[in-house]
Structure formats: C-alpha cells, structure tokens
Structure 1
Amino acid sequence: MTATASPPVLDLQGVSKAYPGPPPVTALHPTHLRVETGDFLAVVGPSGSGKSTLLNLMGLLDRPTHGTYRLSGTDVATLTERDRAALRGRRVGFVFQAFHLLPHRTALENVALARLYVTARGEHRQADAARALGRVGLGHRLDALPGRLSGGERQRVAIARAVVSAPDILLCDEPTGNLDSVTAGTVMDLLAELNQAGVTIVVITHDPAVAQRARRQVTMLDGRLSEPAPGGRSAGGRQ
C-alpha cells in the first residue's frame, strides 16, 4: 500500500493582487510558489517590490485578486472570513520587525495569550508558553516585562509566541530589522535551529545577508517573483 504524499504547506498557483485605481496598481503579478514541509525560504527584495503583499496573502491577511492558494491542502478561497481567521490561528505563526509585545505583560503572559483561543485551561496555556520560551533560550526570563528585555530577547519572545501553537509555517517579516548585526545573527541562528527541528519558515527581508541564512531564496522585484534555476538562470515566477 503506497503512502499518500503530504501536500505542500503553501501552494500558490497564478496568485496575483491588484488594487483599483485610478490608476489601478498591480502589486503582485501572477505568482507560482510551493513551500514544502521543512523548507527555509527567504523572499528578498527592495522596499516596494511586493514582499509585504505576498506575505499578507500567504498569511491569510488579504485575499488574492486571481489565482489559487492552498494552505496545507486547504483551498482558502472557499473559506469564510471566520474560517480563514481560525485556519490562520492554527496553521500560521507570525514574527514581525516590530515585536508587538504587550508592555505590561510578562514574557510568559505575552506568549500564553497566543494560546487563548486554542487552549481553554489557563494552566495549559502557561505550561505551553513556558516550554516555548525555554525552546528559544528564555526559560530564565519568564517573569520579565518587555521593557526589561534586550531587543534580541524581545524578538525571541515574539518567536516563542509564534511557535507556541506548533503552526504549519512561520512567516517572518524583516525579523532582524530593528536589531544590530550581532543580535540579528543570533536571531537567525535561532530560526535555523527551529528549522532543523522541523519548523517550516519563510523570511521576508531586504537584507541579502539575512537571505543567505535560508536554504532557498526567491527574489521580488516590481511585483514579480523569480527563483534562480539550476545553473544560475532565472526560473521566472514558476517554482
């Protein structure tokens, strides 16, 4: 009996995004992209290239104008907004350049809040959050407020919050943008460790040094996605 292969975590087929005018603006031209379980992908490009539009579509924060998007095999176009939000909460973890931590909540509380609508019992949320913080090397800082943490530690809390629910994919939007080069390196080390442990990661960045830490790179320019083919040739938008 042959085992059925798992679907890609992300599968974009001809996905595009346009905004009405006048004049109308195409933020993302028809794009084909597959991200398999265990991938570590960097999407690199300058500001205004379409990276944020792509991230918003992948993270179910926006809907495409055309094309088909399947998240872990689910065609998201068929879902209501409520179902999309529920799928996003279960399947997608986000890490942003701005850490988005609640300043008057401890590290443990910030991470536990991500489990609020998934785990009913408070003690389970606390235990899950403590484990996630231990996973990112902050098991000794559970009771620290964000103002008492360094920039790198705050980003680690944000990463713990993103992975606490074991999402199918971690979407990172300029995760080192507010950090110095040394601290940025430690954050990328952490992401590499998580990827080696099986976490599927997509990093959006304008920094080639950050992109080089990923195992696969694609480039965004003027709303068009390209990936080097074997031998260094561009594969266009097709993955």
Structure 2
Amino acid sequence: MKALPDGPLALPEGASKPPVIEFRGVGLTYPGPPPVEALRPGNLRVESGEFVTIVGPSGSGKSTFLNIAGLLDAPTSGTYMLDGIDTGALGDAGRTALRGRRIGFVFQSFHLLSHRSAQENVALAMLYNAVPRRERLPRAREVLQRVGLGHRVDALPPRLSGGERQRVAIARALVGNPSLLLCDEPTGNLDTANAQTVLRLLDELHQDGMTVLVITHDPQVALRGGRTVSIRDGALSERAEHPEAIT
C-alpha cells in the first residue's frame, strides 16, 4: 500500500500546488443486472482556495459525486487525485486515513451528540487523528471561537439554535485542518436567517483560504460559489444551469 504524507505535500521549489480535487475520467457504475451508471466518466478540477457549488435535480448523481469526492466510495473508472495523491493506489486503510486528514464533512443533519457540550462534540472528532488528549479541548475551543461560538462552548445541542448547531458541525469539520470542506445541503434544515449566518461563515472561511465545495438544491446557495458545476443524468458539466432548472 502506498504510504501517505502526514502534512501538506512537499513540493519542489517553483512547483505549483496540485488541485485539491482532480477527476480524470472518473465514473461509477453499479453492477447489475442491469448495471446502473450512477456517474458518467468525467473530468473536474477544484483548485486550492476555490469555492465551488454542485447543483442538479434529485436523482442526478449528486450523492454519488459526494461519496466519491469524500472517499466514501471508490470510482469504477478513471483516476481521482486528492491533493496530488492517487486515491486509487490506496487500500481501504489508506483511504480512511486520507479522508480523516484531508476532508471535513458538513451535512444537512447536524449529527451532534445531545448529551455532550459543543466543545466536547468538536473534540470527539480528534479521537482518531492522533491528537494528544490534553490538546483536544483547547483546540475545540479555538475552532468554536473561529466560527463565532466562543460563548457557547459549554452548551448542549438541545440548547442551541439550528444555526448554532450547524456552526458546531462546521467547527467539528474544521478542527482537523482539512484541505477540503465538503458540504452536503448545509442549509437544508435551517430557516432563512440561520441559513444566511451559515453561508456568511462559509464565505469567511473561503476568504481565509479554505477550499469549499457545496452540494445544494438551492439556487441562492449555488450563487455563493465562484463557479458552479451541474450534474444531470450522471454527467458533470461546467455550465451552470438556470436556477429554475435546479429542482
């Protein structure tokens, strides 16, 4: 199994940084009968520091794309490079380690433990990242301050608003210093005011240099990206669809 680098890739002097995501003919077909082509072979580059939104109707292949980009599923064709690392050359353990170090996930559902404080929920994300126990709570507090929740570190999730819970989830995704923040419908469970708060936070993280990829049904959320990629019938396209076509 190919060894993984521990930190950011060491590049020769003068070399450019590799894209965070690079799909080279990546596709996924589920075996039959009959076989189902969930994602057609396609190409995609997401450079470091970009904010990209992914749109498409229900059943278009967005979930399949998310699972491949997040190293939850392996493609059946093509090559997926993450931070310049060929993910197809790794075994299951290597892919899991790479996912844990390089990707932070934010989902529509917050997936917080109701009996643990905000700080403890964030600290739990470091259990499997070899972070010494004494460093977990201070790091969790620091990242909660970064997302504007320094005053809520001891609050239990039932005492938090929906927007606050999503910000805790974002803090949990950020605490491992990932290369990529991968968000799946991050405002889907929020009212308008809380959704705007979360979107402003994503904008701020992007402005600070974070690579952000958001999968969404919402045309207004899609407009936050520097560019939009559409998926329809399993095919990736760099041409954004009109908002009324995203259903």
What TM-score does the superposition give when structure 1 sets the normalisation length?
0.93
Q: Decide which of 226, 232, 247 is 1:215's aligned counterpart.
A: 226
- Alignment partner, residue 195 of structure 2: 184
Stretches of 4+ aligned residues off by more than 6 angstroms: none
Which runs of no fewer than 5 residues in structure 2 stay unpaired? 1-11, 242-247
How far residue 104 of structure 1 moved from its aligned partner, in angstroms, is: 1.0
Distance, in Å, in 2 between the alignment partners of 1:172 and 1:48 is 18
The one-letter amino acid of 1:34's match is R
How far residue 227 of structure 1 moved from its aligned partner, in angstroms, is: 1.1
Distance, in Å, in 1 between the alignment partners of 2:143 and 2:191 is 24
Distance, in Å, in 1 between the alignment partners of 2:131 and 2:187 is 33
Distance, in Å, in 2 between the alignment partners of 1:53 and 1:197 is 29
Secondary structure (helix, strand or coil) at the match of 2:96 reads helix
Given that residues 97 and 174 in structure 1 are in contact (C-alpha distance below 8 angstroms), is that contact kept between their aligned partners in structure 2?
Answer: yes
Deviation digits for residues 21-77 of structure 1 (CA, Å, limit 9, x no counterpart): 222111100110000000000001111110110010001000001000010010000
Q: How does 1:68-147 map to 2 (within 5 A)?
A: 68-147=79-158
Given that residues 13 and 67 in structure 1 are in contact (C-alpha distance below 8 angstroms), is that contact kept between their aligned partners in structure 2?
Answer: yes
**Count of paired positions:** 230
- Alignment partner, residue 7 of structure 2: none
Q: Decide which of 22, 25, 30 is 2:36's aligned counterpart.
A: 25
Given that residues 119 and 125 in structure 1 are in contact (C-alpha distance below 8 angstroms), is that contact kept between their aligned partners in structure 2?
Answer: no
Distance, in Å, in 2 between the alignment partners of 1:122 and 1:211 is 39
Which runs of no fewer than 5 residues in structure 1 stay unpaired? 233-239
The one-letter amino acid of 2:129's match is V
Q: In the alignment, does 2:208 pair up with 1:197?
A: yes
Distance, in Å, in 2 between the alignment partners of 1:68 and 1:120 is 31
- Alignment partner, residue 77 of structure 2: 66
Secondary structure (helix, strand or coil) at the match of 1:189 reads helix
What TM-score does the superposition give when structure 2 sets the normalisation length?
0.90
Given that residues 42 and 218 in structure 1 are in contact (C-alpha distance below 8 angstroms), is that contact kept between their aligned partners in structure 2?
Answer: yes
Distance, in Å, in 2 between the alignment partners of 1:191 and 1:120 is 25
Q: Decide which of 41, 54, 61 is 1:50's aligned counterpart.
A: 61
Given that residues 94 and 162 in structure 1 are in contact (C-alpha distance below 8 angstroms), is that contact kept between their aligned partners in structure 2?
Answer: yes
How far residue 2 of structure 1 moved from its aligned partner, in angstroms, is: 5.8
Distance, in Å, in 2 between the alignment partners of 1:121 and 1:16 is 39
- Alignment partner, residue 174 of structure 1: 185
How far residue 120 of structure 1 moved from its aligned partner, in angstroms, is: 3.7
The one-letter amino acid of 2:103's match is V
- Alignment partner, residue 148 of structure 1: 159
Q: In the alignment, does 2:172 pair up with 1:161?
A: yes
